[in-house]
Amino acid sequence: MQEGAPRMRRAAAVVGIGHTDWVGDWKRARAGEKPADCYGYAMRAFSAALNDSGLKREEVNGLIAGPTTAYERLGEVLGINPRWGGQADAVLSVTQACMAIEAGLADVVAIVYGNDQRTAGTQYGGPQAMGGDAFLSYVYHSPWGLTSQGALYALTFQAYKQARGFTEAELGEVAVAQRGWSSMNPNAIMRKRITLEDYMASNYVCEPLHLFDYCLINDGGVAMIIAEAERAKRMCERPVFIEAVGRSDLNRGATALEPRITEFYLPAQQQAAARSYEVAGVGPEDMDVFQVYDSFSVHVPLALEGYGYCAVGEAGKFLREQRIGPGGKLPTNTGGGHLSETYMQGWAHQIECVRQLRGECGERQVPDCRHVHYTSDVAGKAVSLIYGR
């Protein structure tokens, strides 16, 4: 790295990507079959990513396991002995891989995720949601019956509507746009286009959130192989660089939901954005594609405001007039996102980042794609990742 260069600026690049057959496994699961467990899905995704990279298994010397698998067991299943590793979620795994590479702890890191959430009957609401009283902060509210992620985001959206003058129809633009993208994605589970009228006519699950505001729940796996930048240039024709990372957490008041329902994560988003834009030397006006973690559609308008794509209070106008679907000003969640492609807890979005920058997306390809911004706002952690070619 040149003296004085920003740290973690293009220190690493993605050289391999892989995922499982989301569509086929969705159909098999609905037919009562169980194609694999979480380790089986992780193994399939890793094998595909390794093949995509052209690397040999023994060249991988770092491993980060997704939170649904144990790190030691995953290394055993994959048949690798990393000299550095651990466990992290979708965005923090990329961050940690870059940190390890820059620190010289590893130079080829596999980040691997597998989840059998649908066939295993994972509960995301109710008295035993995600392990009951020993897991996420939302379970602290179980005495009042508020253990559903959908209920939490319905509460967030209700507060956001009142604070910003946002409407349900404007939120519907998110679901309609993402189904437009997924209709052009052969890997997407939900490919039938919907209209705003379809959205408004759909049932509430937890008012004011409609059915189309909710993510899918399906089995699958995703893997990415990240290499030190100079090595990536030598071994790969089209490396996709991690340009910058920004992160800011809102922990004070988190278990009382305060950051979620009073400021909508805005301060953390703005701080994470500023850091990543500064390091990468770009801004929202330079982004060709925007990818947003979207377990619920309400993540998207919050991100549009928080990461500077529109002024605070103008997300509804942006969605109506500028648009985020095919042909819109800001292509967003171009694979279909969690709402329509697959729910891989933020991992599949980053596969889409890489494919857009490689130019591999067929009819949904964004022309001359050079910068892709991925953001995630989960439990108060705001993370901003910028990918570039």
pLDDT of residue 372: 98
For the domain spanning 12-121+217-235, the CATH number is 3.40.47.10
pLDDT of residue 351: 97
Bridge partners of residue 221, in order along the sequence: 114
- Kindly report the number of other CB atoms within 10 A of residue 221's CB atom: 34
Greater confidence (142 vs 112) lies with 112
Q: How confident is the model at residue 130 (pLDDT cuts 50, 70, 90)?
A: low
| Dihedral angle sign, alpha carbons of residues 360, 361, 367, 370 | negative
What is the SS3 assignment for 142? helix
pLDDT of residue 133: 46
| Confidence (pTM) | 0.94
Residue 96 has pLDDT above 90, yes or no: yes
Least confidently predicted of 17-21, 148-152, 179-183: 148-152
Residue (of 111, 121, 94, 104) closest to 29 by Cα position: 121
Q: What would the pLDDT profile of 282-331 be if each residue is shown by its tens digit?
A: 999 999 999 999 999 999 999 999 999 999 999 999 999 999 999 999 99
Residue (of 251, 258, 266) closest to 141 by Cα position: 258
pLDDT of residue 143: 60
What are the start-end ranges of the E strands in 108-219?
A: 108-115, 204-206, 209-210
pLDDT (average), residues 272-283? 96
- Give the orientation angle of helix 347-358 with respect to helix 90-102, to 10 degrees: 60
- Kindly report the number of other CB atoms within 10 A of residue 201's CB atom: 10
Residue 135 has pLDDT above 50, yes or no: no
Distance, in Å, from the CA atom of 188 to the CA atom of 116, rounded to the nearest integer, reads 17
pLDDT (average), residues 74-101? 96
Helix (H) or strand (E) holding 325: none
Per-chain mean pLDDT for the chain? 93
Residue 52 has pLDDT above 70, yes or no: yes
pLDDT of residue 129: 67
pLDDT (average), residues 132-142? 54
Q: Are residues 373 and 386 in contact, defined by beta-carbon separation less than 8 angstroms?
A: yes
Residue 144 has pLDDT above 90, yes or no: no
